[in-house]
Amino acid sequence: MEQNSKTNFFILGVFIFLGLSTLGYFFKNAVVEYKQYDRTVKVKGLSQKEYKADIVIWPISYTQVSNNLEELYKTVEQNNKKIDDFLSSNGIKRSEISFSAPIITDKVAQQYGSEKINYRYNAKQTITVYSKNIDKVRDVKKSLSKLGKQGIVFSGENYNNKTEYIFTRLNEVKPKMIEEATKKAREVAQKFAIDSNSKLGKIKKASQGQFSISQRDKNNPQIKKIRVVSTVEYYLTD
């Protein structure tokens, strides 16, 4: 019976040894496999294009002063008609022109101390042109000074009164730009793989950066620069 027990222990020990050896072999291979696939390269691909804006928002502001409120409103109405006729005669559709209510300021009501006031009432009027005809609007802007010669005092452009050029076709250009950015990223990764005596494997991870839209330069705000950067991580194999 004692002999049988020793035999059983021996057989059990053999099986344990074989099991551990087999497990060790597979574990070793798994480690090698893991390290092999852990070799990666992360690259960035850039796509940058220039497109023309497709919508322009042009606010036209002017001021008018008077000591008589009724006369002030009449003058504002006359000026509005002059501006409307001028824009229309130069190719701007009337459906693209909108007039806001004039903002009237009573300087007497805001007076402090003994400040001298030449004109009691001040009116600020804003006319907005919303158009898809960028070139036409830019041409008309250049000739607006003709109305200034008729006594209309236009306000200069500032932060709250600035012409906006909007690009609305981003969804149309996205697919091609992403494709180009990804292609350029792969070219960089392929060059790296060749230089390191490796082969480029599958994609491990990829992320698309945000699209940015900015004006090309100060003199051509109607030309938009669209930019996107894609980040791609590839596996490297021997």
Could you write out the DSSP letters of every residue in 107-151? TTTT--TT---S-SEEEEEEEEEEES-HHHHHHHHHTTHHHHTTT
Cα 80–61–137 angle (5° rounding)? Answer: 85
Q: Is the pTM of this model over 0.85?
A: no
- The one-digit pLDDT tens for each residue of the chain (238 residues) are 555 555 555 555 545 555 545 544 443 433 334 445 568 889 999 999 999 999 999 999 999 999 999 999 999 999 999 999 999 999 999 999 999 999 999 988 776 656 777 889 999 999 999 999 999 999 999 998 888 888 888 887 776 789 999 999 999 999 999 999 999 999 999 998 998 898 998 998 888 888 999 999 989 999 999 999 999 999 998 7
Where does residue 136 rank: exposed (0-12), middle (13-18), buried (19+ CB within 10 A)? Answer: middle
Q: Which of 90, 38, 20, 87 is nearest to 60 (CA)?
A: 87
58 and 128 Cβ atoms separated by less than 8 Å:
yes
* Percent of the chain as helix, strand, coil, to the nearest 5: 40, 30, 25
- With a CB cutoff of 8 Å and minimum separation 6, the contacts of 139 are 90
CA–CA distances in Å: residue 6 to residues 13, 16, 19, 46: 10, 15, 20, 72
* Separation CA 39–CA 234 (nearest Å): 9
* Separation CA 161–CA 155 (nearest Å): 8
Report pLDDT for 157.
75
Q: Which of 130, 133, 129, 122 is nearest to 144 (CA)?
A: 129
b/e burial code for range 78-111 (CB count within 10 A of at least 16 → b):
ebbeebeebbeeeebeeebbeeeebeeeeeeeee
139 and 197 Cβ atoms separated by less than 8 Å:
no
Report pLDDT for 53.
97
In the structure encoding, which two tokens stand for residue 10, read together?
């021996």
